Amino acid sequence: MRRGGEPDPTRRCRPSIVIGVALALVVTGCAGQARFEVDGGAAPTLRDVVAPSVVYVLTPDALGSGFLLDDGSIVTNAHVVDLYGVVSVVVPGEPVKADVAVTLVDRHADIAVLEPIATNAPGLTVATDSPADGEPVFVFGYPGSFEFEPEVSMQQTFVSRRRRSRIMDLVYFQLDDAIAGGTSGGPVVDRNGEVVGLVTFAVTEASFGMALSLAELAALPTENAEDPDDIFAAGDSGTSFGVEIEQDRQVAYLLEADQELEDEIDVEVRIEGAADALVEITTLGGFDPNPLPTDADFVDPPFLPEEPGPYVSDYAGNDGATAMATIRGPGRYLVTVRNEGETGLVALISSHDLVPFRDDEDSRSLAVNDITGGVIDHIGDTDEWALDLEAGSFVEIEVSGLLDTAATLRLGDSVITSNDDGGGGIFRLDPFLFAEIAESGTYTLEVGSFFEPGGYVVDVFVG
């Protein structure tokens, strides 16, 4: 699992009930005694009933799990599909299904829904009731699976406790055993074979896993849903851009190379003014974009390094210099340009069309005494929120999400307060800032992540 693992009144928070509807279609009020044997016996086993509906999800960056609904659509984690609009899916006993579209993502709840597929496998039912603490549950998925025809794993564990994200209003089961990488997006089922949770992330240091409770989620309006195609739309595509980048900040673009590409892709950055720039090209998840092997029975994945990093990058360190990065092969790539020097103008010239990433959070105003949602759109993204504060007031700011965030409050170039593990979030490891305001003005709250993209919320109290 790659995690250690959004309400927004514009793009991120337009009302949508797609996830809620998809789950509600399969919710039934079944309760009572278990209908299946856990193992052995003449009756169908739990594994017999659940495993055929547990799918293997692949992107150039990740391997994860998911499960089928009655209409053939698939539920998995948003961090499994990441920024990819299409993924590959393997249903047990069936050929690989390539180019399955991601129809919806919710990066706050870490849920993604894939389009319905043609399959003989049945859909699973989502339970209306949550399991009690101490109750046995069963985790299905593909931990550590790199085969092209992997076998579904079944793991019995127990619900040891619940954890609620206060400001995100999400409930998680803490599972009593470690959850291995590759199980992300897999279903957690009860003895009836009904889905009670979605494996979301693991706490490796403490050897336990966390699963999002779907019973509570199915009853909630899903306001954070977004169309994956909307993530990148920030204006017209082009091969050249001129942009002013502040010191220690970066801009990002999507580069899509067609399948007929045989030549190298060159991205050139020409620096004007005083700016120094570093250009990087990676997969959408920030990994080395070497293509997957296609002629092996077992994938030894060079595309899954321990830490994301650029494939090729070059540093241009003075006015008028040029930096160039080169990749080979078709696909979708992330192009980032970071300013390592003073604020200045950077001209970006590419051999292929680039689409700017949109960043709706920058320069938007935070709601005071309310909760506002945002998204770290890509690795290295830093959101900058505007916050009007009066002299003599006190401000408390809590940031909460499934990613490891840090936050800084500034007035101009002056840092008022900064925090990382200050007591916010589900494990009290997210930022919690407190400051007495000495000067009236429009302050800037910067929110960034040390790891991967994802949703977060900000709770601002001013007194």
Q: Using alpha carbons only, what angle is made at residue 319 by residues 318 and 324, rounded to the nearest 5 degrees?
A: 70
As a whole number, mean pLDDT of residues 341-368 equals 80
Residue 445 has pLDDT above 60, yes or no: yes
User: What ranges make up the beta strands (E) of 329-404?
Assistant: 331-339, 344-356, 370-376, 382-389, 394-401
Asked if residue 90 belongs to a domain, the reply is yes
Q: Residues 238, 355: contact at Cβ < 8 Å? A: no
User: What ranges make up the beta strands (E) of 283-369?
Assistant: 312-316, 322-328, 331-339, 344-356
Question: Is residue 433 helix, strand or coil?
Answer: strand
Question: Which residues, in sequence order, are bridge partners of residue 415?
Answer: 410
Q: Do 24 and 138 reside in the same domain of the chain? A: yes
Look at residue 259 in the predicted model and tell me its pLDDT.
53
Of 218, 252, 276, the one marking the end of a domain is 218
Q: Do 263 and 386 reside in the same domain of the chain? A: no
Asked if residue 423 belongs to a domain, the reply is yes
Q: 167-171, 258-262, 296-300: which has the minimum mean pLDDT? A: 296-300
**CATH number for 127:** 2.40.10.120
Of 329, 356, 383, the one marking the end of a domain is 356
Asked if residue 1 belongs to a domain, the reply is no
Percent of the chain with pLDDT over 70: 67
pLDDT band at 231 (very low <50, low <70, confident <90, very high): low
CA 227 to chain centre: 14
Asked if residue 12 belongs to a domain, the reply is no
Residue 221 has pLDDT above 50, yes or no: no
Q: Do 214 and 237 reside in the same domain of the chain? A: no
Q: 47-51, 75-79, 358-362, 445-449: which has the minimum mean pLDDT? A: 358-362
Q: Do 337 and 390 reside in the same domain of the chain? A: no
Q: Do 202 and 259 reside in the same domain of the chain? A: no
Look at residue 165 in the predicted model and tell me its pLDDT.
74
Q: Do 110 and 203 reside in the same domain of the chain? A: yes
- Copy the structure tokens of residue 103: 């129809």
Enter the pTM of the model: 0.79
- Copy the structure tokens of residue 305: 């390094």
As a whole number, mean pLDDT of residues 117-126 equals 94
Residue 364 has pLDDT above 50, yes or no: yes
Asked if residue 129 belongs to a domain, the reply is yes
Q: Do 82 and 196 reside in the same domain of the chain? A: yes
Q: How many whole angstroms separate alpha carbon 452 and alpha carbon 4?
A: 10
pLDDT band at 76 (very low <50, low <70, confident <90, very high): very high
Look at residue 54 in the predicted model and tell me its pLDDT.
96
Name the domain count of the chain. Answer: 3
- H helical segments located in 59-169: 78-81
Q: Do 342 and 398 reside in the same domain of the chain? A: no
Asked if residue 188 belongs to a domain, the reply is yes
Residue 26 has pLDDT above 50, yes or no: no
Asked if residue 313 belongs to a domain, the reply is yes
Asked if residue 365 belongs to a domain, the reply is no
Among 121, 119, 140, CA closest to 65: 140
- Copy the structure tokens of residue 45: 């086993």
Q: How many whole angstroms separate alpha carbon 311 and alpha carbon 369?
A: 44
Higher pLDDT, 203 or 279: 279
Q: From the CB of residue 205, how many other CB atoms can be counted at a distance below 10 Å? A: 7
Residue 15 has pLDDT above 50, yes or no: no
Q: How many whole angstroms separate alpha carbon 218 and alpha carbon 127?
A: 9
Q: Do 173 and 248 reside in the same domain of the chain? A: no
- H helical segments located in 37-76: 46-50
Which range of 135-144, 246-255, 313-322, 370-379 scores highest in mean pLDDT? It is 135-144
Q: Do 163 and 22 reside in the same domain of the chain? A: yes
Q: How many whole angstroms separate alpha carbon 447 and alpha carbon 461?
A: 17
**CATH number for 388:** 2.60.120.380
Residue 187 has pLDDT above 50, yes or no: yes
**Average pLDDT in the chain:** 75
Q: Residues 207, 247: contact at Cβ < 8 Å? A: no
As a whole number, mean pLDDT of residues 328-343 equals 76
Q: Residues 92, 140: contact at Cβ < 8 Å? A: no
* First-last CA distance in the chain: 41
Domain membership of residue 310 as a residue range? 233-356
Residue 124 has pLDDT above 70, yes or no: yes
Of 356, 387, 415, the one marking the end of a domain is 356
Q: Do 45 and 166 reside in the same domain of the chain? A: yes
As a whole number, mean pLDDT of residues 177-189 equals 85
User: Secondary structure of 272-288 in the HEC alphabet?
Assistant: CCCCCEEEEEECCCCCC
Q: Do 387 and 451 reside in the same domain of the chain? A: yes
Question: Which residues, in sequence order, are bridge partners of residue 13?
Answer: none
As a whole number, mean pLDDT of residues 327-337 equals 74
